[in-house]
Amino acid sequence: MNNTRKECVISDDDLRAALKDMGTYLDVTEEDLKNIYSIALKHAEERLASKIAVGDVMTKKVITARADSDIHEVSALLSKNRISGLPVVDETNHVIGIVSEADILFMAGMGQGHTFKDILRHILGEPLPRRKHGERIEDIMSSPAVTTGPDADIREVAGILESKKIKRLPVVDSENRLLGIISRADIVRAMSRK
């Protein structure tokens, strides 16, 4: 990004035309509007300069599973690689879901009880979560997966992870093909280097 200061190129005629288009009276001078624009431009440049793109900090070597993968094999993969979840992709590397330790534990019966939040959701008309059964990943994976793009700011991703109570997001291109994965740990590492 070019860090040189951009000059305000709005003319007085432009400002008068804009004020006329608003159809209301504002008690500011044209010079005030130029100053506001100039200050806003400075803030925008600073914000963009401090942005950390997901693509710059994501993990590019991603362990994946296929929908027809055996649950026991994927459990072993999670354990061996000390990860808590992984994307599920099809034969063309499109992300079709995600499977986590929580999905496997839920399938195994660890999450049979319903939480207070589940009960509130049910009162509001949502179905209660059911224990998943099956031998293949497609039977227990969460689908569709929540994803992000490589140009997203890690602060946006941190907000998504927090609001959805998840630990990772697959990073995909415009056609939903897997490019990498960003986790809470990746974000913490990036913020510590800033």
Q: What is the CATH number of the domain that holds 164?
A: 3.10.580.10
**45 and 59, same domain (yes or no):** no
Kindly tell me if the per-residue pLDDT of 161 is higher than 70. Answer: yes
120: its two tokens: 């509130």
Would you tell me how many other CB atoms lie within 10 Å of the CB of residue 8? 13
Q: Which residue type sits at 146?
A: V
**46 and 80, same domain (yes or no):** no
Mean pLDDT of 118-124: 56
pLDDT value of position 60: 94
Least confident among 47-61, 62-76, 79-93, 135-149: 47-61
* pTM (2 d.p.): 0.64
In a domain, 76, yes or no: yes
Q: How confident is the model at residue 127 (pLDDT cuts 50, 70, 90)?
A: low
In whole angstroms, give the CA distance from residue 87 to residue 100: 9
In a domain, 126, yes or no: no
**41 and 89, same domain (yes or no):** no
Nearest to 75 by CA among 112, 38, 103: 103
In a domain, 7, yes or no: no
Q: Are 97 and 67 in contact (CB under 8 A)?
A: yes
Does 113 or 179 have the greater pLDDT score? 179
In a domain, 122, yes or no: no
Q: Are 3 and 49 in contact (CB under 8 A)?
A: yes
**141 and 165, same domain (yes or no):** yes
Q: How confident is the model at residue 118 (pLDDT cuts 50, 70, 90)?
A: low
Q: Indicate the average pLDDT of the chain.
A: 80
pLDDT value of position 72: 87
In whole angstroms, give the CA distance from residue 36 to residue 10: 12
63: its two tokens: 């362990």
In whole angstroms, give the CA distance from residue 34 to residue 157: 34
Provide the CA 132 distance to its chain's centre, in angstroms. 26
In whole angstroms, give the CA distance from residue 88 to residue 181: 12
Query: What is the domain range of residue 90?
Result: 55-100+136-193
